[in-house]
Amino acid sequence: MQEVKGILLCGGEGTRLYPLTKVANKHLQRVGRKVMVDYPFEKLLEAGITKIHVIVGGENWSQVVKYLGSGKDRGVEISYSIQDKAGGIAEALSLAKVFAGNDKVAVILGDNLFDISLRDYVRSFRESVKPSEAVVFTKETTTPERFGILYRDDAGKPTGIIEKPMDGKSKEAVTGIYFYTPDVFDIIKTIRPSERGEFEITDVNRFYLRNGNLATVKMHGKWTDCGTHETLRLAEQMYG
């Protein structure tokens, strides 16, 4: 049985949170009684994942490495890669190819805070024998123009994912939690940069969807990203 390893994406310049990120990495901003990165990191630990690779980036990336360390004090193994410049989530994920090897991966964006436990989902994903599979976690949002949005037919079957749509026809956001089989790294090689010059994780998820290999989980409870001053304030209200 393949292992499920954890990947925590803490790259990016944090420009939308400037000037907070001028002196401290975005993922080390305080949210309630913890710093931002503690929330997704602890979700990986809660799910029983003991090998975690952290992708860091931005001007103050070394602060994240110093904060999380080797993982020894938390009973896990932590390794790191550096994303030199903002090239998209898919590009950041590609840096973990050697770490992942032939194992499955549970990927979380370092600015995503949520309530649900991933333990049962990780166990089911570990036990699945499908050679190619992805699982995305979705949540209704009031700002669909900020996310990859999942569309469904009248029967509830997923039909497409559109990045930052303005049509308002669906508000089911694909959150920053993704499970992938090892073929994800080969799939990333096939996608092209978007108009903004980044390798979009939406294109990776579309690949799985087109091939009938994308599962979706509608999340319950609280969820937010912390990418803007507004959502950071929302996170502080949720978890303060």
User: Model confidence over 121-164: pLDDT tens digits?
Assistant: 999 999 999 999 999 999 999 999 999 999 999 999 999 999 99
State percent of the chain over pLDDT 90. Answer: 78
Q: Is residue 200 part of a domain?
A: no
Specify if 13 maps to a domain: yes
Element (H, E) at 53: strand 51-57
- Cβ atoms of 179 and 104 within 8 Å: the answer is yes
The answer to whether the beta carbons of residues 58 and 37 sit under 8 Å apart is no
In a domain, 136, yes or no: no
Can you give the residue range of the structural domain that contains 23? 4-131+176-195+222-239
User: Tokens 């978007």 correspond to what residue?
Assistant: 194
Q: How many domains does the chain have?
A: 1
- In a domain? residue 82: yes
Residue 232 belongs to domain with CATH number: 3.90.550.10
Q: Say if 41 falls within a structural domain.
A: yes
Q: In this structure, is residue 235 part of a structural domain? A: yes
In a domain, 147, yes or no: no
- Within a domain: 201: no
pTM for the structure as a whole: 0.95
pLDDT digits 0-9 by tens, 47-104: 999 999 999 987 789 999 999 999 999 999 999 999 988 789 999 999 999 999 999 9
- Quick one: residue 78, left, alpha or beta (phi over 0 = left, psi -120 to 50 = alpha)? beta
Instruction: Name the burial class of residue 154, with classes exposed (0-12), middle (13-18) and buried (19+) by CB atoms within 10 angstroms of its CB.
Output: exposed
